[in-house]
Amino acid sequence: MDSDYQNSSFILSTVASGEKRSQYNGNSTEEQENERKGCPKWTKVHLIVLAVSLLFALGGLCILGTLYARLSVKLSAQETKSTLMVRELTDKYNRVREHLRTKDIMVRELTDNYTRVREHLRTKDAASVPAMERELKELMSNYTRVREQLSFYEGQSSDCETISTAWGGKLYFFSSHKLNWLSSRAFCVSKGADLVIITSQSEQMFLISKMKDWYWIGLNDLDTEGRWVWVNNQTLTETGVQFWYERNTQKSEPDDWRVEDPNGEDCGIVKPHVSGLNNWFDVSCNYKLNFICAKKQ
C-alpha cells in the first residue's frame, strides 16, 4: 500500500515537472520569435537614417559646387579686367616715354648746335664775332625754351592721362589729378607756369574743346570780395573778356554761395558741360578739382 502511494506521488511529481519544462520551453520560443521580428525594424531605421544623411551630403556638395562655380566666374572676370587695365596703363606709359625720348633728342641736338657754334666762334675773325654771338644767344634761347617745355612733359610721367598741348603761342597743361586752388597754382608755378589766364573768346572755345571735367582757372577774388583778378593781377576789365554763367530767375555767377563753405566762393572754374561759352562759376577754393597750367612758348 505504501509502495503504491509512493509510486503515485512520483508519477504526479514527474508530470508536474514536465509541464513546467514545457511551459518554459514555450516561453523561450515566443521570445526568440519576438527578437527575430524586432531585428528587421531596427535595420529599416538604420537604412532610413543613412539615406537621409546621404541626401544631406549630396545637397551640401551641390551647394559647394555652385558657390565654387560663381567664385570662379567672378575671379575670372576680375582677372580679365585687371589684365585690360595693365595693358592700357602700359600703352600710356610707353607713349609718354616715347614723347620724352623725342624731347631728349631735341635737347641733345640743340646742345650739339651750341657746341658747334662755340667752336666756330673760336676760329672766326674778330669782325664776325658779333653776328655769331647773336646766333649763339638765339640758340641758347631756343635751348632754354625746349628745356622748359620738357619740364611739362616730365610732369606727366607720374600721371598718364595728363595732356599738354600748344595753341596761340601758349603751352597748356591739363591735369588729371585733383588739387585745391592754392595747391593747383603751386604745382603750375613749380613747372615754370601758372594757372591759365583766358584773354579771348577763341581761347575760351579752344579750352572748352579740350576739357572733360571741371577745371580751375587763374581767376579769384581772395583779396577783395567781388573784385575778380587773374593770377597776374589783371582785372576782367583789363583783359576785356568774361564768361560768367547767367541765370534767368536766380542770381547769376559769381554768386558767392555760402551754404557749403562759410567763407564763400572765391575761386573760378570752367564747367565745360554747360552749353555755350558762358560757363565760368565761382566755387569754394577748398574743392579738389582738375586744373589748367599755361605759359608762353
- Looking at residue 287, its pLDDT comes to 96
For 30, counting Cβ atoms within 10 Å of its Cβ (0-12 exposed, 13-18 middle, 19+ buried), the class is: exposed
Cell of 1: 500500500
State which H helix or E strand residue 215 sits in: strand 215-220
Q: Is residue 15's pLDDT more than 80?
A: no
76 lies in a domain? no
Q: Please report, for residues 78, 105, 107, the alpha-carbon distance to residue 101 in angstroms, rounded to integers and kept in the order given.
A: 34, 6, 10
Q: Please report, for residues 34, 225, 246, 283, the alpha-carbon distance to residue 255 in angstroms, rounded to integers and kept in the order given.
A: 101, 11, 10, 9
- Looking at residue 250, its pLDDT comes to 87
Tens of pLDDT, residues 37-46: 556 667 878 8
Q: Please report, for residues 104, 184, 195, 250, 279, the alpha-carbon distance to residue 245 in angstroms, rounded to integers and kept in the order given.
A: 43, 23, 20, 11, 5
- Looking at residue 229, its pLDDT comes to 97
289 lies in a domain? yes
CA torsion angle for 166, 171, 177, 178 (degrees, to 10)? -120
297 lies in a domain? yes
Cell of 73: 566666374
Total count of domains within the chain: 1
Cα maximum dimension of the chain: 186
Instruction: Specify the higher pLDDT residue, 199 or 24.
Output: 199
CATH number at residue 279: 3.10.100.10
For the full predicted model, state whether its pTM sits above 0.85. no
254 lies in a domain? yes
Q: Is residue 28's pLDDT more than 60?
A: no
191 lies in a domain? yes
Distance of alpha carbon 75 from alpha carbon 70, whole angstroms: 9
> Cβ(117)–Cβ(136) under 8 Å?
yes
Amino acid in the structure at residue 7: N
- Looking at residue 187, its pLDDT comes to 94
- Looking at residue 108, its pLDDT comes to 84
Q: Please report, for residues 66, 73, 184, 207, the alpha-carbon distance to residue 152 in angstroms, rounded to integers and kept in the order given.
A: 53, 44, 14, 18
For 202, counting Cβ atoms within 10 Å of its Cβ (0-12 exposed, 13-18 middle, 19+ buried), the class is: exposed
What per-residue string of b and e applies to 113-133 under the rule 16 or more CB within 10 Å gives b? Answer: eeeebeeeeeeeeeeeeeeee
146 lies in a domain? no
For range 185-211, the mean pLDDT: 94
Q: Is residue 188's pLDDT more than 60?
A: yes
Tens of pLDDT, residues 238-284: 999 999 999 988 899 999 989 889 999 999 999 998 878 999 999 99
144 lies in a domain? no
Q: 56 pLDDT band (50/70/90 cuts)? A: confident
For residue 219, give its domain range: 163-297
Tens of pLDDT, residues 90-131: 877 888 788 778 777 888 887 888 888 777 767 765 556 677
> Cβ(284)–Cβ(276) under 8 Å?
no
